[in-house]
Amino acid sequence: VTLSLTVEQAGDLTATGAATVALLVRDAAPGTAAAPLAAALGIDFAAHVERESWKGEAGDVLALPSYGTALGETRTVLLVGLGKAADATAATFRKAGAAVVRKAGKPASVYAALGETTPAEVTAFAEGALLASYAFTSQKSDPKPPSLTSLTIGVRRLTPKHTAALTRAQHRAAATALVRDLANQPSLDKTPEWLAKRASALAKKTGLDVTVLEPEALAAQGFGGILAVGSGSTRTPRLIRLDYKPAGKAKARVLLVGKGITFDTGGLSIKPNDGMAAMKTDMAGGAAVIATLQALPALGLPVRVTGLVPAAENMPSGTAARPGDVIRHYGGRTVEVLNTDAEGRLVLADALAYGIESCNPDYVVDLATLTGAIGIALGKRVAGLFANDDKLADALLKAADEAGERFWRMPLVEDYRRDLDSPTADLKNIGGKFGGGAITAALFLREFVDGRRWAHLDIASAARSDNDEDEISKGATGFGVRTLLTWLESL
Ligand code: BES
Ligand code: MN
Ligand code: ZN
């Protein structure tokens, strides 16, 4: 995609080669600001708006004919609503950007006149457009490039901050697309080794340090959770570590941990066929961690970040872990595995314990497609946020709001903790007495964070979508990566 910014000039609209010309409209009224554009195009916007009783709500699109205008016959002219100007937020602009791309002819070359806009609005609009143009086509015999070929954004006033905002959007959209690509990849190819190789290649390209622990090293250092979960598969587990070191002094030391189950059958506690195909995206948290890390060198943020992705394939077989087995996690804690389908917490426990010991972090954030229960609680578009620190929770919620990803803070209910006590081992890996499966899962993880400032993002439901909608794509959504990047920028 060729991305550019320009100072909005009436003449641009007719001079542009773009096949789609979009005008963002506030208060459903093209207004006097659009008058020069209207004149240049030879279109009476107000008349169309009135004839179609167009409401111009956020993301509403009115397609106008271009014949008989200065644009000739073949262009598409779109009026794109921003709703009430006073209420317009970054989310409004993100929606508008997505709406333009979804309504534009394919392949899409777009000129979008935004009018008076802030840098944050430019980021949001461009993000929406870029994210909506995503499609996963690599498995087709005839893979297609993204539908958006060029996007020119016209603004009333162009400052260096606007230019930086566009570059920022490009990095964030690329990071999201990377998560989508990794998570949409079928598990036939996507083994733990494959994921580690992809992470290593990205690290080399962007200038991160990378370390991959293979099974021998995992055994030698006591990663009993990762090994147990991976033990049923011939495709052996890995622990992927990426390190970003800023050029100057770091403002904070951050540990990010992402669940990297490359396929989750449930193991011997096997899942029903319904929904099992979706378990190729059970490494979406890990992919978000990889994508966040690889974006940091280009963004140049002054934070020291380590990303850990415990990667394993959860399969049933003669070598798989059995319900009732007791495993020993990194650091020595023992866990009775009563359900092999509660595997995410087992690999995360090892990675959290190891990461905290080795990095001494100020903040720990994990992302995981951890429980079906979070989707029951919050539905498909909202992820759960658990935290043992209010300031960290608030900072993440604020970042998520800016990034256009919805989280809802969930409680770490102390009374439920005793449901994880095991008569046999230090802990068991599932509760049962109280329900609230997302909460018991979070309480399990908390046992391994050593009292550090920690947040756990349960993205099980938000990481996938059944359909294209606004900036969200069918299949893997890439949820979480933009929240993490926004939060890291805020430190
Ligand atoms: N990967 C699943 C969670 C999941 C479910 C993600 C649906 C996306 C959509 C996880 O490993 C799992 O199987 N969790 C179990 C936990 C239970 C056995 C305590 C679940 O949610 O059913
Ligand atoms: Mn599972
Ligand atoms: Zn899982």
12 alpha carbon – ligand 1 mean position (Å): 52
Q: Kindly name the residue from 94, 190, 235, 345 that is annotated as catalytic.
A: 345
Mean pLDDT within 455-462: 99
Residue 345: active-site member: yes
Query: Atom of ligand 1 at shortest distance to CA of 339?
Result: 18
Which of 335, 370, 430, 459 most suits a substitution to test ligand 1, by most atoms within 8 Å of the C-beta? Answer: 370
Mean pLDDT across the chain: 96
User: Which one of the ligands is nearest to 372 CA?
Assistant: 1
Ligand 3 centroid – CA 231 distance (Å):
15
Mean pLDDT, residues 299-324 taken together = 98
Token pair for residue 404? 């256009």
Q: Which of 228, 404, 418, 393 is nearest to 310 (CA)?
A: 228
Ligand nearest to the CA of 462: 1
pLDDT tens for each residue of 56-83: 999 999 999 888 888 887 788 999 999 9
From 335, 341, 427, the mutation candidate for ligand 1 (largest count of ligand atoms within 8 A of CB) is 341
Q: How far is the CA of 79 from the centre of ligand 2 (A)?
A: 46
What mean pLDDT comes out for the span 429-446? 97
pLDDT at res. 70? 81
Please name which ligand lies nearest the alpha carbon of 267.
2
Nearest-atom number in ligand 1 for the CA of 282 is 1
pLDDT value of position 41: 82
Q: Which-ligand-closest: CA of 460?
A: 1
CA of 486 to the centre of ligand 1 (A): 28
Q: Is the pLDDT of residue 350 over 80?
A: yes
pLDDT at position 33? 64
Closest ligand 1 atom to Cα of 266: 13
Q: Distance from the CA of 261 to the center of ligand 3, in angstroms?
A: 6
Percent of the residues in the chain that have a pLDDT greater than 70, as a whole number: 100
| Number of the ligand 1 atom closest to the C-alpha atom of 281 | 8
Span of 12-21, 83-92, 268-277, 290-299 with lowest mean pLDDT: 12-21
Mutate to test the pocket of ligand 1, among 371, 464, 465 (most ligand atoms within 8 A of CB): 371
Residue 271 annotated to the active site: yes
Q: Find the residues whose C-beta lies inside 6 A of ligand 1.
A: 264, 278, 282, 339, 341-344, 369-373, 430, 437, 460
pLDDT at 16 over 90: no
Task: Give the model's pLDDT for residue 37.
Answer: 77
Q: What is the mean pLDDT of residues 155-168?
A: 97
pLDDT at residue 114 is higher than 70:
yes
3-state SS of the chain?
CEEEEEECCHHHHHHCCCCEEEEEECCCCCCHHHHHHHHHHCCCHHHHHHHCCCCCCCCCEEEECCCCCCCCCCCEEEEEECCCHHHCCHHHHHHHHHHHHHHCCCCEEEEEEEECCCHHHHHHHHHHHHHHCCCCCCCCCCCCCCCEEEEEEEECCCCHHHHHHHHHHHHHHHHHHHHHHHHHCCCCCCCHHHHHHHHHHHHHHHCCEEEEECHHHHHHHCCHHHHHHHCCCCCCCEEEEEEECCCCCCCCEEEEEECEEEEECCCCCCCCCCCCHHHHHCCHHHHHHHHHHHHHHHHCCCCEEEEEEEEEEECCCCCCCCCCEEEECCCCCEEEECCCCCCHHHHHHHHHHHHHHHHCCCEEEEEECCCHHHHHHHCCCEEEEEECCHHHHHHHHHHHHHHCCEEEECCCCHHHHHHHCCCCCCEECCCCCCCCHHHHHHHHHHCCCCCCEEEEEECCCCCEECCCECCECCEECCCCHHHHHHHHHHC
pLDDT tens for each residue of 28-43: 888 766 777 788 888 8
**299 CA distance to ligand 1 centroid (A)?**
34
pLDDT of residue 105: 81
Percent of the chain past pLDDT 90, that is, above it, reads 89
Q: For ligand 1, atom 7, which residue shows the shortest CA distance?
A: 372
pLDDT at residue 317, as a whole number? 98
Report, as an integer, the average pLDDT of 287-311. Answer: 98
Give distance in angstroms: CA of 247 to centre of ligand 1.
40
When mean pLDDT is compared across 142-151, 264-273, 290-299, the lowest value belongs to 142-151
Q: Look up tokens 């938000």; give the residue.
A: 462
187-199 pLDDT per residue, tens: 999 999 999 999 9
Residue nearest (by alpha carbon) to ligand 1 atom 3: 371
Strand positions, DSSP E, 46-183: 61-64, 76-81, 108-115, 148-155
Smallest CA separation from ligand 1 atom 16, residue: 342
Please tell me which residue in 271, 409, 453, 474 is annotated as part of the active site: 271
Amino acid at 317: S
Closest atom, ligand 1, to C-alpha of 429: 19
Distance CA 168, CA 123 (A): 7
Ligand with an atom nearest the CA of residue 374 = 1
Residue with the smallest CA separation from ligand 1 atom 5 is 372
Alpha helices in 56-118 (DSSP H): 90-103
- CA-373 nearest atom, ligand 1: 21
Nearest atom within ligand 1 for CA of residue 431:
19
Residue whose Cα lies nearest atom 13 of ligand 1: it is 341
Compute the distance from residue 282 Cα to the ligand 2 centre, in Å.
8
485 CA from centroid of ligand 3 (Å): 24
- Tens digit of each residue's pLDDT (9 = 90 or more) over 353-389: 999 999 999 999 999 999 999 999 999 999 999 999 9
Q: How far is CA 310 from CA 49, 129, 329, in A?
A: 54, 33, 13
